[in-house]
Amino acid sequence: MKEIVNFSVITLSILISGLFLNSCDEGKIFSQPESSPRLETTALESYTVTATSPREVRFSINSTTPWTIQSSEPWCEVTPVFSSVSSLIADITVVVERNEATTPRMATLTITAEKVESQTVTINQDSKGNLEVEMIDETDSFGSQGGSKLFTVVSNRDWTISSSSTWLSISPKSGSASENQAISITATAAPNKATKRTATITVRNGLDEKAFHVVQDGILFSLTNTEDTNFSGATEIKEYELTANIPWEAEIVSGKDWLTVSPASGSSSANIVVSAANNTTLLTRTGQVIIRPAEAEGIEPFVLDFFQDNMQDGTTRLDFRDGHGHGIYAPPSITFSSNGATIRMTNADAENGGGWARIRFEDYSHYKLGIFTWKFSAFNFPTNSATWFDINAWESDAGNYHLFLNTNGQYYISSSFGAYDEAVFSDFDLSLLESITIKVDHDPENSGKLRLEVFFNNQKVTQISNLNNLYAENPNQNGPCFYYGLMYENYAGAEAEASVTLAYFQKTPLN
């Protein structure tokens, strides 16, 4: 009985299994299931581009199903806008136009596909820079004592301000965007102890930039006409306009014997006059005047280097003539250097003068009584020279004297103050001659008379006393004019070659 039961259970199980197998085959239970659509992109959630030169945005789409992409704004263009038939994978290019507005803007890119959740990408574009600056007028300068001035900034973007110089500070130096709202900025100048100066203020907001200059007054110290420093030999003045707002002083560094400056000091602008005395020498002269701040440091002084010609006050000219008063060719026979005027007599000059030749200076000062000195740098006469060094004080009416010097040992001076007088002397070596002085003054030993004295190298060599005082007898009587230089007189077999170098002719009148 037990065996029969087991067999029945087994048989029932087999029958039930067969029924299930037949049912699955009829309903296709064993077919393979299909996969879900898929879309992926490399795009970021958002991009930011500039207003003036926006960059292209690029990303890719990889999809197993057709897709499309759309831009919410016409200024943001997408290529391609859908998947192609042959491929569901594409590189996307987003081109953004310039933003001419002063406000930022945004576009949304939407990527869609069937049975796929859509994706969005945000394109943010900055606004065009708007920067307005109410500048400080360059003519509105800061005072030398320092101080502050205001200007304003309007910017739709964050901004910064810089100064090109440390003496000018800015506050505030930066700020945030504030559409249509003017921000007040303070520029502060430190005290200026130097000359006028300039700084540049620059305002930037990333896309725009504004710059302007500001000026601060400082120490005023300028001089006009500084190139005009050459004087003629005559008395002359030169004027210089000094612009200054500080104390100053003018100093004659060299040339004090012939230069004067007025005023010598001051505390503001002034007209400075530099005067040159008549050059009574045959030398050129140089001098220097410095005009400097009296207290301020770091200000360069003005240095004026003066030059004065060796020609005298207009009473002196050159005399070139022969013994008959006819002019001869002689200018090359007088040359000027730092040693003075060199007068040279040559044989050609003598021949050109027909046996007589004079190469001399003339002076028409017409002093009556006085001390007259000729200073030599050189005195060169060959022993066989027939040329004389000649000083002729001549007035056609009276009061004349005439000194002749020749290395042949013949020296004499003649005079005519109503009567002719002569003094001959020969006990001086002319090669050692450095100066000649002739003094015409009252005769201390003869009341009412005059005395003429001759000095070589400041040593008296001769005199003529008891001369008539023609100037007392006739107050209208002129004093003599001077002719001095070289005179050649024809001597058989004698040479004319000779030269002297005159440093100066100095005249000191006496009462």
- Last residue within a domain, chosen from 308, 338, 366: 308
Q: Is 24 helix (H, G, I), strand (E, B) or coil?
A: helix
**Is residue 73 one of the residues assigned to a domain?**
yes
**Is residue 6 one of the residues assigned to a domain?**
no
Sequence-separated (6 or more) residues with CB below 8 Å from residue 234: 278, 279, 311, 312, 313, 314
234 and 361 both lie in a single domain: no
- Last residue within a domain, chosen from 125, 145, 176: 125
**Is residue 11 one of the residues assigned to a domain?**
no
**Is residue 22 one of the residues assigned to a domain?**
no
Beta bridge partners of 105: 125
- Last residue within a domain, chosen from 288, 308, 328: 308
- 16's enclosing H/E stretch is helix 2-26
Within 10 angstroms of residue 425's Cβ, the number of other Cβ atoms is: 14
Exposed/middle/buried for residue 5 (C-beta within 10 Å: 0-12, 13-18, 19+): exposed
Task: Report the distance separating Cα 52 and Cα 97, nearest Å.
Answer: 9
- The predicted pLDDT at position 23 comes to 40
387 and 433 both lie in a single domain: yes
- Residues of the chain short of pLDDT 50, as ranges, are 1-33, 312-318, 322-330
- The predicted pLDDT at position 375 comes to 92
74 and 166 both lie in a single domain: no
Q: Note whether 375 and 280 are within 8 A (CB).
A: no
237 and 171 both lie in a single domain: no
| CATH code of residue 402 | 2.60.120.200
| CATH code of residue 249 | 2.60.40.10
Write out the DSSP string of 290-345.
EEEESS-SSPPPEEEEEEE-S--SSSEEEEEE-TTS-B-S-GGGEEEETTEEEEEE
**Is residue 442 one of the residues assigned to a domain?**
yes
- The predicted pLDDT at position 334 comes to 77
Q: Which residue has the tokens 């039930």?
A: 16
300 and 378 both lie in a single domain: no
**pLDDT, averaged across the chain:** 84
- 468's enclosing H/E stretch is strand 459-468
**Is residue 5 one of the residues assigned to a domain?**
no
206 and 339 both lie in a single domain: no
502 and 363 both lie in a single domain: yes
320 and 342 both lie in a single domain: yes
Q: Beta strand 168-171 with 183-189: parallel, antiparallel or unpaired?
A: antiparallel
**Is residue 370 one of the residues assigned to a domain?**
yes
Measured distance between the N- and C-terminal CA atoms of the chain, rounded to whole angstroms: 191
199 and 241 both lie in a single domain: no
176 and 99 both lie in a single domain: no
Instruction: Specify the number of domains making up the chain.
Output: 4
**Is residue 71 one of the residues assigned to a domain?**
yes
Instruction: Give Cα separations from 302 to 152, 193, 305, 343 (angstroms).
Output: 42, 18, 10, 39
388 and 485 both lie in a single domain: yes
351 and 493 both lie in a single domain: yes
Exposed/middle/buried for residue 272 (C-beta within 10 Å: 0-12, 13-18, 19+): buried
Angle made by CA atoms 397, 403, 406, in degrees to the nearest 5: 150
- The predicted pLDDT at position 491 comes to 59
Query: What would the two tokens of residue 448 be?
Result: 């009412």
Residue 368, domain extent: 316-510
